[in-house]
């Protein structure tokens, strides 16, 4: 209950402070590529329940719905980026609409990043380790310890560490380190 109250309070103030940035990002996406500015992605939430997660659209319409690491095996993900897609992904501006998912209760500020509905290997391993009981987050322990650079088993081990060590202090540490890593653009490959 305390975590949910903190989530709602932080999101409320974040939306107020970030409204100009949200508006600017919306306009950048809308004015540089055809299609909607917001993309709704099917994600795996708490207890493996599917939910729709919003993001600012950074990829062209018709891009395959697969994880970036899988896309790297088939083709170059950069070919699917919109004109501002690379920038909004590297600056994590594409994540701002996920504040809505925190408000609706599908996500928390901190938790394992929600898997795509078709990332069966990640979903199975998280379920095996008990991580699926956690509400997914905008950021998490795995995000600040490698993000896109680490293999799935290592990512799940970091998620399991969070499961067993979660606390208000750890959440604050993760949020502070996330801000630092986003500003430095650490471990962001796309």
- Residue 179 counted as domain residue: yes
- Residue 189 counted as domain residue: no
Give the separation between CA 182 and CA 30, rounded to whole angstroms: 23
- Residue 190 counted as domain residue: no
Domain hosting residue 148, numbered range: 2-184
- Residue 52 counted as domain residue: yes
Domain tally, the chain? 1
Contact 67, 116 (CB under 8 A): yes
- Residue 145 counted as domain residue: yes
- Residue 8 counted as domain residue: yes
Query: What does the pLDDT read at residue 75?
Result: 61
Q: Which pLDDT tens digit goes with each residue over 85-136?
A: 989 988 889 999 999 999 999 999 999 999 999 999 999 999 999 999 999 9
Q: Which pLDDT tens digit goes with each residue over 133-176?
A: 999 999 999 999 987 678 999 999 999 999 999 999 999 999 99
Residues 6+ apart with CB under 8 A from 123: 44, 48, 115, 132
How would you classify residue 34: left for phi > 0, otherwise alpha for psi between -120 and 50, otherwise beta?
beta
pTM: 0.84
Cα→Cα distances 88→40, 130, 174, Å: 16, 32, 21
């Amino acid at each position: 209950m305390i975590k949910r109250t903190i989530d709602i309070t932080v999101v409320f103030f974040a939306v107020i402070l970030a409204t100009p940035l949200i508006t600017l990002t919306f306009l950048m996406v809308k004015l540089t590529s055809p299609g909607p500015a917001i993309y709704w992605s099917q994600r795996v939430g708490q207890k493996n329940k599917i939910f729709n997660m919003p993001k600012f659209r950074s990829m062209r319409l018709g891009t395959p719905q697969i994880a970036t690491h899988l896309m790297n095996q088939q083709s170059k993900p950069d070919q699917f980026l919109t004109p501002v897609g690379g920038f909004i992904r590297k600056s994590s501006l594409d994540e701002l609409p996920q504040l809505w998912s925190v408000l609706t209760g599908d996500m928390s500020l901190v938790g394992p990043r929600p898997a795509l509905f078709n990332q069966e290997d990640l979903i199975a391993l998280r379920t095996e380790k008990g991580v699926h009981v956690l509400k997914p987050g905008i950021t998490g322990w795995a995000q600040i310890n490698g993000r896109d650079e680490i293999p799935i088993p290592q990512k799940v081990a970091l998620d399991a560490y969070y499961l067993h060590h979660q606390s208000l202090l750890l959440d604050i540490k993760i949020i502070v380190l996330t801000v630092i890593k986003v500003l430095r653009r650490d471990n962001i490959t796309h």
